[in-house]
Amino acid sequence: MKEQIENAIEYLKDTNIRGCITGSALLGYFPDEKYPQDVDIFCYDEKSFTELYFMLYHSELFTILDPLEKWKSDMFRTRDNFSNKHHTGVTTIKFKYNTCIDVNIILKKNCNNIFSVLSSFDINIICKGYDLQTKEYLDLTTNPGNTASWNKWNTAFNSSEVWQISRILRQLERVFKYHKRGYNCDNVVLKYIDLIDNIQLFESIFNSESFNEKLKITQANTKIVKEICQVWLTTHEITDAQLEILKIKIKEI
C-alpha cells in the first residue's frame, strides 16, 4: 500500500494545474485500517478543477467506485453550468488510484493558492503541501514532531463569530484520526473546547426568531460535542456510537 500511495503522488506531481497536493499521504505511511490514508488535491479555481477531473476521469489508473461519488461525478460532468460565482463551501469528488488509494479532488471557496489552502486546516501537523505549478513544498507545520497543536495560521480560531466557529468545528473528527496514528492531539481538543465555550456564552442581540432558534440549536449541540471531547481527554478513546453522535450534532450546527 505504501508503494501505491507513493506512485499516486508521483503521478499527480506531473500535472501542471493550478492546485496543490495535501493530505496524510505527505506525512509518511500509516497502516491504518479505520482511517486509510488518502491524497487530497485542492484546485485553486473551477477551470483547474474541471481540467483535473477530466484528466482523472479518462485515465485507466483512476476509477470511481463509491455510489455517492459516482452520482457527484455524473452531476458535475453533465450539468450545464458550474460557476464558482455561485459556488459556496466545498466541492469534492473522490477517485480511486489503482482501485486502492483514495484521491480527492477539491474546490474550496476562497482557497486560491497553497497558503490559503493550508491556513484553512485546523491541525498544524497537516499544514504541508506541494504546489503543482511551482513544484515546491510549503510547510507550515513548524516541525511539531508527534505533538499536534491548532493551526495558528487559521484566523477562524481567533474569531468570536458564532458561525465562523461552527464551521471550523466540522474538522474536529480529524483529531481522533490523528491520535490513532500516534499524535498527541490534546492541545487541539482543548482549543476546540475553548471555542465551544465562546458559543455557549454568546448572547444574541438580534430580534430575529430564525437566528435565535438556530443559535439555540447550535448551543445545545455544541454542549454535547464538548462533553464527548472532555470524556476523550480522559480516556483517549471514542466509540463508534460517540463518533456518530458527534457527526450528527456537528452537521446540525
Residue range 11-35: average pLDDT? 86
Task: Give the chain as a DSSP string.
Answer: -HHHHHHHHHHHHT--SSEEEESGGGG-----SSS--EEEEEESSHHHHHHHHHHHHT-TTEE--SHHHHHHHHHHHH-S---TTT--SEEEEEEEETTTEEEEEEEETT--SHHHHHTT-SBGGG-EEEETTT--EEE-S---TTB--B-TT-GGGG---HHHHHHHGGGTHHHHHHHHTT-B-HHHHHHHHHHHHHHHH-------HHHHHHHHHHHHHHHHHHHHHHHHHHH----HHHHHHHHHHHHH-
Residue range 194-223: average pLDDT? 87
Helices 209-235 & 240-252 angle (0-180, nearest 10):
160
Residue range 134-147: average pLDDT? 89
| pLDDT of the residue at 32 | 66
Residue pLDDT, tens place only, 213-244: 888 889 999 999 999 999 999 999 999 999 99
| pLDDT of the residue at 33 | 65
85: pLDDT strictly greater than 70 = no
Q: Determine the Cα–Cα distance for residues 138 and 142; give it in Å rounded to an integer.
A: 11
160: pLDDT strictly greater than 90 = no
- What cell does 174 get? 480529524
Q: What are phi and psi of 248, to 5 degrees?
A: -65, -45
Q: What are phi and psi of 124, to 5 degrees?
A: -65, -30
88: pLDDT strictly greater than 80 = no
Q: Determine the Cα–Cα distance for residues 31 and 37; give it in Å rounded to an integer.
A: 8
The pLDDT confidence band at residue 159, using thresholds 50, 70 and 90, is: confident
84: pLDDT strictly greater than 50 = no
- CA neighbor of 21 nearest in space, from 44, 39, 1: 39
| pLDDT of the residue at 206 | 75
Q: pTM for the full model?
A: 0.85
Calculate the average pLDDT of the chain.
89
CA 210, distance to chain mean position in Å, is: 29
- CA neighbor of 30 nearest in space, from 58, 66, 5: 5
Q: Which range among 79-83, 148-152, 209-213 shows the weakest confidence by mean pLDDT?
A: 79-83
100: pLDDT strictly greater than 60 = yes
Asked if 103 contacts 97 with a C-beta cutoff of 8 angstroms, the reply is yes
- Report CA-CA distances (Å) from 131 to 3, 52, 113, 151: 21, 14, 9, 20
87: pLDDT strictly greater than 60 = no
Residue 225 or 79, more confident: 225
Asked if 105 contacts 3 with a C-beta cutoff of 8 angstroms, the reply is no
81: pLDDT strictly greater than 60 = no
Q: What percent of the chain has pLDDT over 90?
A: 66
161: pLDDT strictly greater than 50 = yes
212: pLDDT strictly greater than 50 = yes
Q: Which residues are registered as beta bridge partners of 19?
A: 43
| pLDDT of the residue at 236 | 96
Q: Determine the Cα–Cα distance for residues 177 and 191; give it in Å rounded to an integer.
A: 17
